[in-house]
Amino acid sequence: MKKDKLAILIPAYNEEPRIDSVLKVVCSYRDEKRIIVIDDGSSDRTAEQAQKYSVEVLRHNYNRGKGAALQTGIAQVGNADYWLFLDADLVSLKEAHLNALLRPLENNNNVGMTVGIFETGSKFGVNYWVNFAQKYFSILNGQMALSGGFIKMLPDLSWAKFGVEIFLTKLADYYGIKMANPILPGLTHHIKEDKLGLGAGFLYRLQMYRECLYALINWEKHL
């Protein structure tokens, strides 16, 4: 099986207005890479927007959750030295952020996973609480890099939905994978309330928290 140097997975659900700014940065990053956008059952034109770039676009027929989207991407690539997982709604993503996530894996210091930490988001203070939460609860941050060796150890992620970051962090600890938490200055993302409105955004956030709590309580059942 051919081995890719770097695989970048971007799960996306109804991110048509926002995914451009992420793909512009990711597509200009390095020469040797494979970029997979997984459209997780979007009702908008997320997939069509992504297809304007030099990326592979995979589509779910219905919304299956973030864990399933990442699992679809992993199955598509199969084998790579390094992996990046990025959200599709990031604000102010820069090449330096990708370097910060990958460098600890490449420096041959036995780090097998990095989970980024937002620091002082750039969206005019709107995302203060998002950045606060991810600074002190970095287990919830979706900006991750993983070694190919760790990826090979993973069980199926599909069940985890929004709790996939918690599941991955628990797995790293379970398998004795060394982790690092690079700071990602100036990076943040659009909050649910911005995208959906206050009421719908709040309900969506509650769903996300329920899925995270379920993953935290039940992760060992899915080893």
Distance of alpha carbon 200 from alpha carbon 38, whole angstroms: 23
Among candidate residues 156, 161, 138, the one with its CA nearest the CA of residue 208? 161
Distance of alpha carbon 6 from alpha carbon 34, whole angstroms: 6
In the structure encoding, which two tokens stand for residue 49, read together?
């927007």
Q: Which residues contact 122 (CB under 8 A, 6 or more apart)?
A: 91, 92, 186, 187, 188
- What's the rounded mean pLDDT across residues 102-121? 87
Spell out the domain ranges in the chain.
4-222
Residues in a beta bridge with 180? 114
156-211, pLDDT tens digit by residue? 999 999 999 999 999 999 999 999 999 999 998 877 777 877 888 777 778 888 99
Q: Which residues contact 172 (CB under 8 A, 6 or more apart)?
A: 112, 113, 150, 179
> From 2.40.50.140, 3.40.50.10880, 3.90.420.10, 3.90.550.10, which CATH number describes the 4-222 domain?
3.90.550.10
Q: Which residues contact 27 (CB under 8 A, 6 or more apart)?
A: 35, 53, 54, 55
Distance of alpha carbon 97 from alpha carbon 61, whole angstroms: 32
The pLDDT of residue 201:
73
Is residue 38 classed as helix, strand or coil in its secondary structure? Answer: strand
43-92, pLDDT tens digit by residue? 999 999 999 999 999 999 999 999 999 999 999 999 999 999 999 999 99
Supply angle C-alpha 220, 64, 159, rounded to 5.
10
196-212, pLDDT tens digit by residue? 778 887 777 788 889 99
Contact (Cβ atoms closer than 8 angstroms) between residue 182 and residue 116? yes
Q: What is the mean pLDDT of the chain?
A: 89
